[in-house]
Structure 1
């Protein structure tokens, strides 16, 4: 059974933000700190499991998040910690994740990753062997559609190097 590194119960950490901002880098850093056995669930991977040729429609979004949150629910029900990596552009999906944590007595943390747009453009253009197929047009679309975060969250600027980002995550969360 996975639990937090401090010996507490399970934890659900949602890492959200626009495509290309470096959510996976932040999520992997958090996963290492939460619990080496915690699952890292990525919407990009779930999307590949659910949709053969993504168009990033609202129906696809619903199906992906339904499946993702079902997997989160299963793991929390087993007392396992989970780190989730996804845009979570819709407030309803963030709320559903928070509700799952509450239902299972898990600690919930929301982490928003941000990055300057030029760095995002460069990162997306040079992606290789990544589960994400979101291009810069998807980034721009999601930037327009991202619903404001009104809950408490931790914001990580991932505009610098991986080492700098890892330091920022550790400083902000631990």
Structure 2
């Protein structure tokens, strides 16, 4: 909280936040750990894993999670090394906010970038606890399989819409 008791996320832009403030915004839902596919109606492949999106393409979420995700805690088991071990892992920072489109609509970074504020279930609004998020069904807990269990060619068989659900 700032001196005026207004939370930092209401007084600072995403670019103005300190690293600890930035990191605390992550709600820990782990939806970013899901493999996403880009659907391009003009391409030969119906959906491909990629790191960019064009205007004529559509982003799809799968329920296939990174093998390094602890799906009970909704935490990365190799957080400090995640981008080395998984080169396609998007590490969202103040310097690459243009990639926020990869995040689901419920993502706190995306919500703040779009001027929507934090959701009611966010840990920062619930004494630092994830229980309200899990109870609201906003995390990946109990909803995923892991990428070491299926081939990339099978990902499109696991396209889901629940990661796009947003409560408030």
Q: TM-score, normalised by structure 1?
A: 0.26
Q: TM-score, normalised by structure 2?
A: 0.26
**Larger Rg computed on CA atoms:** 2
